[in-house]
């Protein structure tokens, strides 16, 4: 078992990486399907090994479930560290514990299903092989992020997923919108990277190490205010990566990427990295109440704000993007108040139902020839029964209907909020649950019902098994995924015990708080009924309301004009400054200096060209005169004429 544990994590981590390298090197020489097979198999291999590793780790007693792998190993006599700048030593360090395993299982498992789906979905893409190389790069970077054993390697993975996200959002490089969205995502994410870097500097200053083990063991040696600052800077990273307020505007735009990318990166895995980071750094947040409260409030505000925006959007993927932001808000809220197990639980179920929703939406978009506007859909339930059924399951799950996955995890979070004494956060969480059910069912009704099909071109319904099998699997998981936590049987807390210790066992999980459960279920049902009433039963009433609340509608449809505000606050000043520099400083200042140097050189050359007469004897005379002058200088000036008797 010793050798198994020492090698398997490295294999899990680097399989997708080698898959990427193989596709990149051999891609042009094999058929398109070859690249897809390599991409799929490498991720599948990682998943199988992760499952084996997970079953091994969870067979150990909870206090031994943290495995640390270091390169160079401790017994090395001449260790070659990654960086050795005394007193700081950084090794290549992996940490496998239940928290990391939970993420690894989702990344490789859901990641594999989405790879499988991409085989069919990306069929018409010009850069089919490149797509799989990028996807493998993403899986590798994401695994690096969650398997890292110190904050430096976490940051490596963190920046790596940012890069993969950038490459994949801008995958259709022919379209300007995709390129701009990719750029926006990269810029926002780099703000987060800087936040984590500052947190790393602070951790080095206070703990002298970046290793989780050392930092978390000595966490109480730093003062509360120091921990608060570290927590806040880590939060900057989490907010940027997880698209929370105020750095969320890149996520809706990121929907310009292909749908499998939206499902894998911008729904199931990458955007939950912020949740992972805060859960991972939980010893810090446990001792930093102000930072933890900030986390919770930002999560709650993001959940609520995103849900309100989601109500007024017409692009099917944008609605899903705002719902992602909203659901991640729930997770951030949960880990902010210390309900780490509940937050992780919601991450798992969300990965199932959100990947499902995106992939079902992908089937619709695929069959409508790229149409994403729900105003041009409608009546699709009969034409695409498979997509309808799976999308409905996803919607029931995200809205929190019993017995679908979202019910259990959302309920767990709201239970914790009530139990830990946060009535306001709980209230907003419950209202958000209502809004979620409303906008998701609005989406369902507008897409699949509300009379006849409103699109321009006839939908074709080609069915490909590689696309439908993963969706079906996810539909099953979105249905039963929540059953990890049943009354009296809390599998989630048991699994996470090794990562969070006592904080992992949350008393209410697995118990029924009838009040909270009742409110949650009522909210979901109310959202469903309102959506049904407004879109199916009484469209005139909806139109009347729409004219009555037109200003509100406009604000929501424009996402509170946050993009516009950022445009005037940051973009315009920067661009103005840049163009002014280009107009004045560059030609006059920099250009002036360079032109001046050129003019001086030319002038000197012109002045001196007269000396070059071409007469050898004149040069000789010049040398003689020079020699005489040098001699005279030495004799009369340096030695004061002593040699010729002048002294």
Partner 1 sequence: MPGVPLADYLAVASALFAVGVIGFLLRRNPITMLMAIELMWNAGNLAFAAFARTFVDFSGQIFVFIVVTVAAAEAAIALAIVVMVFRRRRDVDVDEISELRG
Q: Which of 572, 575, 581, 621 binds partner 1 (CB under 8 A)?
A: 621
The answer to whether 470 and 113 are in contact (CB under 8 A) is yes
Q: Nearer Cβ to partner 1, position 60 or 630?
A: 630
CB 612, min distance to partner 1, A: 3
Total Cβ atoms within 10 A of residue 466: 16
Structure tokens at 252: 């809706």
Q: Which of residues 552-611 bind partner 1 (CB under 8 A)?
A: 608-611
How far apart (Å, rounded) are the C-alpha atoms in residues 371 and 385?
18
Q: Nearer Cβ to partner 1, position 176 or 616?
A: 616
Half-sphere exposure of 362 (CA within 13 A, CB side): 30
Contacts of 183 (CB under 8 A, 6+ apart): 166, 170
CB 634, min distance to partner 1, A: 15
- Using alpha carbons, list the distances in angstroms from residue 547 to 18, 541, 552: 57, 10, 10
| φ/ψ bin of 373: left (φ > 0), alpha (ψ from -120 to 50), beta (otherwise) | beta
The answer to whether 267 and 358 are in contact (CB under 8 A) is yes
Q: Is 74 in the site for partner 1 (CB under 8 A)?
A: no
Q: Nearer Cβ to partner 1, position 78 or 609?
A: 609
Q: Nearer Cβ to partner 1, position 225 or 602?
A: 602
Q: Is 647 in the site for partner 1 (CB under 8 A)?
A: no
CB 642, min distance to partner 1, A: 16
Q: Nearer Cβ to partner 1, position 582 or 631?
A: 631
Contacts of 588 (CB under 8 A, 6+ apart): none
Q: Which of 80, 205, 624, 629 binds partner 1 (CB under 8 A)?
A: 624
Q: Which of 616, 637, 638, 644 binds partner 1 (CB under 8 A)?
A: 616
Q: What's phi and psi for 342, nearest 5 deg?
A: -65, -40
Q: Is 612 in the site for partner 1 (CB under 8 A)?
A: yes
Q: Nearer Cβ to partner 1, position 616 or 637?
A: 616
> Which of 88-96, 405-413, 449-457, 612-620 is the region at the interface with partner 1 (rule: CB under 8 A)?
612-620
Q: Which of 614, 637, 644, 645 binds partner 1 (CB under 8 A)?
A: 614
The answer to whether 224 and 285 are in contact (CB under 8 A) is no
Q: What crossing angle do the helices spanning 273-280 and 224-241 adopt, rounded to 10°?
A: 160
Following DSSP, what letter does each residue of 561-624 receive, concatenated?
GHHHHHIIIIIHHHHHHHHHIIIIIIIIIIHHHHHHHHHHHHHHHHHHHTT----HHHHHHHHH
CB 609, min distance to partner 1, A: 4
Q: Nearer Cβ to partner 1, position 557 or 643?
A: 643
Q: Nearer Cβ to partner 1, position 28 or 610?
A: 610
Q: Nearer Cβ to partner 1, position 2 or 612?
A: 612
Q: Which of residues 183-222 bind partner 1 (CB under 8 A)?
A: none
| φ/ψ bin of 34: left (φ > 0), alpha (ψ from -120 to 50), beta (otherwise) | alpha
Total Cβ atoms within 10 A of residue 453: 16
CB 595, min distance to partner 1, A: 24
Helices (H), 58-175: 98-121, 128-147, 151-169
Q: Tokens 């949350």 identify what position?
A: 506
> Which of 116-124, 157-165, 513-521, 620-628 is the region at the interface with partner 1 (rule: CB under 8 A)?
620-628
CB 629, min distance to partner 1, A: 14
Q: Nearer Cβ to partner 1, position 381 or 635?
A: 635
CB 620, min distance to partner 1, A: 5
The answer to whether 395 and 440 are in contact (CB under 8 A) is yes
> Which of 285-293, 409-417, 446-454, 619-627 is the region at the interface with partner 1 (rule: CB under 8 A)?
619-627
- Of 498, 502, 500, 501, nearest to 65 by C-alpha is 498
Q: Is 613 in the site for partner 1 (CB under 8 A)?
A: yes
CB 193, min distance to partner 1, A: 58
How far apart (Å, rounded) are the C-alpha atoms in residues 38 and 118?
13
Total Cβ atoms within 10 A of residue 286: 18
Max CA distance (Å), the chain: 123
Q: Which of 29, 75, 514, 615 binds partner 1 (CB under 8 A)?
A: 615
CB 617, min distance to partner 1, A: 6
Q: Which of 208, 385, 592, 620 binds partner 1 (CB under 8 A)?
A: 620
Q: Is the peptide bond before 523 cis (omega within 30 degrees of 0)?
A: no
CB 644, min distance to partner 1, A: 13
Would you call 135 helix, strand, or coil by DSSP?
Answer: helix
How far apart (Å, rounded) are the C-alpha atoms in residues 332 and 300?
8
Q: Which of 86, 423, 617, 645 binds partner 1 (CB under 8 A)?
A: 617
Helix (H) or strand (E) holding 538: none
Q: Nearer Cβ to partner 1, position 78 or 617?
A: 617
CB 605, min distance to partner 1, A: 9
CB 610, min distance to partner 1, A: 7
CB 613, min distance to partner 1, A: 6
CB 183, min distance to partner 1, A: 54
CB 630, min distance to partner 1, A: 14
CB 643, min distance to partner 1, A: 12
In angstroms, how far is the first alpha carbon of the chain from the final one?
Answer: 96
Q: Nearer Cβ to partner 1, position 597 or 631?
A: 631
Number of amino acids touching partner 1 (CB under 8 A): 13
Q: Nearer Cβ to partner 1, position 176 or 608?
A: 608
> Which of 30-38, 420-428, 583-591, 615-623 is the region at the interface with partner 1 (rule: CB under 8 A)?
615-623
How far apart (Å, rounded) are the C-alpha atoms in residues 108 and 41?
11
Following DSSP, what letter does each residue of 369-395 receive, concatenated?
TS--BGGG---HHHH-HHHHHHHHHHH
**Interface contacts to partner 1, rule CB under 8 A:** 608-617, 620-621, 624
């Amino acid at each position: 078992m010793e050798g198994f544990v020492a090698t398997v994590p490295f294999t899990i981590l680097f399989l997708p990486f080698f898959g990427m390298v193989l596709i990149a090197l051999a891609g042009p020489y094999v058929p398109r399907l070859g690249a897809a097979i390599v991409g799929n198999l490498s991720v599948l291999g990682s998943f199988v090994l992760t499952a084996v590793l997970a079953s091994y780790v969870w067979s150990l007693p909870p206090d031994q479930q943290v495995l640390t792998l270091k390169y160079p190993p401790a017994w090395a006599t001449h260790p070659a560290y990654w960086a050795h700048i005394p007193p700081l030593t950084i090794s290549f360090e992996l940490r496998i514990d239940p928290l990391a395993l939970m993420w690894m299982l989702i990344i490789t498992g859901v990641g594999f299903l989405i790879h499988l789906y991409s085989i069919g979905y990306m069929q018409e893409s010009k850069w089919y092989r490149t797509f799989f190389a990028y996807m493998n790069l993403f899986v590798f970077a994401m695994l690096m992020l969650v398997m890292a054993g110190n904050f430096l390697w976490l940051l490596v993975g963190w920046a790596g997923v940012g890069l993969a996200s950038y490459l994949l959002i801008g995958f259709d490089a022919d379209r300007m919108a995709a390129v701009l969205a990719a750029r926006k995502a990269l810029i926002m994410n780099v703000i987060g990277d800087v936040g984590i870097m500052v947190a790393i500097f602070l951790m080095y200053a206070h703990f002298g190490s970046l290793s989780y083990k050392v930092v978390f063991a000595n966490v109480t040696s730093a003062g509360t205010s120091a921990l608060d600052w570290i927590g806040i800077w880590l939060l900057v990273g989490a907010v940027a990566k997880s698209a929370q307020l105020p750095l969320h505007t890149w996520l809706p735009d990121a929907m310009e990427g292909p749908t499998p990318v939206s499902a894998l990166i911008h729904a199931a895995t990458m955007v939950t990295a912020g949740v992972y980071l805060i859960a991972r750094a939980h010893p810090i947040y446990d001792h930093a109440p102000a930072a933890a409260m900030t986390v919770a409030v930002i999560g709650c505000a993001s959940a609520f704000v995103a849900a309100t925006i989601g109500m007024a959007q017409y692009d099917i993927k944008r609605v899903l993007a705002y719902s992602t932001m909203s659901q991640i808000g729930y997770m951030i809220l949960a880990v902010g108040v210390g309900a780490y197990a509940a937050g992780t639980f919601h991450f798992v179920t969300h990965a199932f139902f959100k990947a499902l929703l995106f992939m079902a939406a992908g089937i619709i978009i695929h069959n409508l020839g790229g149409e994403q506007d729900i105003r041009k859909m409608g009546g699709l339930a009969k034409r695409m029964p498979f997509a309808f059924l799976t999308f409905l399951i996803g919607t029931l799950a995200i809205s929190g209907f019993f017995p679908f996955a979202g019910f259990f995890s959302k309920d767990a979070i709201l239970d914790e909020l009530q139990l830990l004494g946060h009535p306001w956060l709980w209230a907003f969480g419950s209202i958000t649950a209502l809004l979620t059910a409303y906008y998701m069912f609005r989406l369902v009704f507008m897409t699949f019902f509300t009379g006849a099909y409103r699109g321009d071109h006839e939908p074709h319904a080609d069915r490909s098994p590689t696309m439908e099998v993963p969706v079906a699997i996810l539909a099953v998981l979105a249905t039963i995924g929540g059953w990890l936590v049943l009354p009296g049987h809390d599998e989630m807390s048991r699994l996470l015990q090794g990562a969070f210790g006592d904080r992992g066992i949350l008393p209410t999980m697995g118990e029924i708080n009838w009040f909270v459960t009742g409110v949650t279920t009522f909210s979901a049902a109310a959202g469903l009924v309102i959506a049904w009433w407004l879109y199916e039963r009484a469209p005139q009433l909806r139109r009347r309301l729409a004219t009555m609340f037109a200003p509100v509608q406009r604000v929501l449809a424009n996402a509170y004009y946050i993009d516009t505000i950022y445009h005037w606050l940051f973009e315009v000043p920067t661009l103005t400054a840049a163009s002014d520099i280009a107009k004045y400083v560059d030609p006059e200042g920099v250009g002036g200096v360079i032109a001046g140097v050129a003019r001086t050189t030319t002038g000197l050359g012109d002045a001196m060209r007269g000396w070059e007469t071409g007469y050898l004897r004149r040069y000789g005379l010049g040398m003689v005169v020079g020699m005489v002058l040098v001699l005279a200088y030495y004799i009369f000036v340096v030695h004061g004429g002593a040699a010729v008797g002048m002294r």
